[in-house]
Structure formats: C-alpha cells, structure tokens
Amino acid sequence: MANIVQFENVGLRYGTGTETLSDVSFTLSSGAFYFLTGTSGAGKTSLLKLLYLAQRPTRGGIRLFGEDAVTLPRARLPGFRRRIGVVFQDFRLVPHLSAYDNIALPLRVSGVAESDIDAPVREMLAWVGLDQRIDAKPPTLSGGEQQRVAIARAVIGRPEILVADEPTGNVDPDMAERLLHLFDSLNRLGTTVVVATHDFHLLGRIPDAHMMRLDKGRLLDPTGSLRFPPPGEAA
C-alpha cells in the first residue's frame, strides 16, 4: 500500500516550554487502521492536531497525500482539510442545529447544492443508527448518540483519512464497541483510520490494526508494525 502520511523527525513545542513531541517519525499506509496509544499527557492530541493540519510542527517534515504539509500555502489548507475527517472527544456539535443539519454542515460549507445533500445525510443517519432522531438537537441526545452524529459529520465528505481523538472516552463499553465497529466499517471502504485511545480493552478488537505508542512525546513503536491477536487469543 502507498504511504498517505509521512512524519520525519517531527518536533512540536508550545511557546518556550519543553517539546511536547520530539523526533517523531512514522508512515501511515493508505487504507490501513491505526491505534495511537499512550497515557494522558503523552502527546496524542498534539500529534493528531499535526495530522489534521490544526497545528504546524516546530521542526521536522510532514508529507500528506504526497505533498509537503509544513510549507503548504494557507490558501490550500481548506482543500487538504476536506480530505481529512476529524472526530473530537468533546463532539463539537452545533447545539442549535438538528442531527440532520449538523451532519449536513460540511457539505453546505463546501458549497454542495441543497438538492444533493438530503440523500447522503439520510444515508449517514441510517448508517449510525439515528434515522429516527433526524430532528433531535444535541442537548436532547445521549453521549453515544452525539458521538455517532459527530462520526457521521466527519465522514459525510468521504475523507481519505479519519482521525478520532479518544472517541470512546464519554460512552459506556457497549457503545464503545459499536463506535469501533463504525470505524472498522469505514476502514473497510478504504479510508485510513487513526484512533487515539487509552482504552486498552479496545485494542484487540480490530485484528489487522497497527499500533503506535507515545510516551512523553516520543514514539515507542515508530514502524506501526505491531499487530494484535484476535479477541480471546493470548497476546
């Protein structure tokens, strides 16, 4: 598989403090599934911000979709970001919009004609099991329902990469399994998926997943080659 992301000796520093990420190097293959693990404060969220272009590195090189992302002109950032879906831990839904309108938002922002929005939005609602909650607004939805709306919104544009930051942190174990199944289904359609989590119970649920471990801003398994056995088998 071709590489869709490449980090080379990346460092990230906020202000004048110590580096949050140091000498991070790895590649992500197109169509693969990755878990990014590490304790709280290890640097997972910072690494994801670099991946979805919310932050630029202090040093080092990053290539996305075969192009230099560090020197990418600001005018081209929106186009790149549309190729990357992001699921935030705190959902970031628009509270006064319905589930339907939250999911439709990326298409409307991209200028998709209203006549071409209804069918894909309803398809996404059905895919995440919320076709009966089409008019519900976020404050009336459970945490798991809000997360499913957030996932549908992230993937409505058929991104080439999906980045999820602790997506199961606010839901019960049964819902965590369901959300992971959605990510797996998307991955099987060809999207590269990166899930940051500290929930080690989930790691073996995707037998073909690769794992990357962060510790104090350093990547312990830069090759991403460690694979997990199927659930129930010894590690």
Question: Following DSSP, what letter does each residue of 79-108 receive, concatenated?
Answer: HHHTTEEEE-TT----TTS-HHHHHHHHHH
Residue 217 has pLDDT above 80, yes or no: yes
Residue 141 has pLDDT above 90, yes or no: yes
CA distances in angstroms from 209 to 19, 62, 153, listed in the order given: 29, 22, 24
More confident residue, 44 or 202: 44
Residue 41: the pLDDT is 86
> Structure tokens of 4?
């869709």
What band does 11 get if pLDDT is binned at 50, 70 and 90?
very high
DSSP 120-180: HHHHHHHHTT-TT-TT--GGGS-HHHHHHHHHHHHHTT--SEEEEESTTTTS-HHHHHHHH
> Structure tokens of 161?
């990469």
What band does 1 get if pLDDT is binned at 50, 70 and 90?
low
Mean pLDDT along residues 149-170: 90
What band does 224 get if pLDDT is binned at 50, 70 and 90?
very low
Residue 234: the pLDDT is 37
Strand order, beta sheet including 19-29: 19-29, 3-13, 59-64, 67-68
Q: Domains of the chain, with CATH numbers?
A: 31-55+74-219 (3.40.50.300)
Residue 161 has pLDDT above 90, yes or no: yes
What band does 181 get if pLDDT is binned at 50, 70 and 90?
confident
Mean pLDDT along residues 212-231: 64
Residue 222: the pLDDT is 47
Residue 229 has pLDDT above 70, yes or no: no
Mean pLDDT along residues 157-172: 88
- Which tens digits make up the pLDDT trace of 28-70? 999 999 999 988 889 999 999 999 999 999 999 999 999 999 9
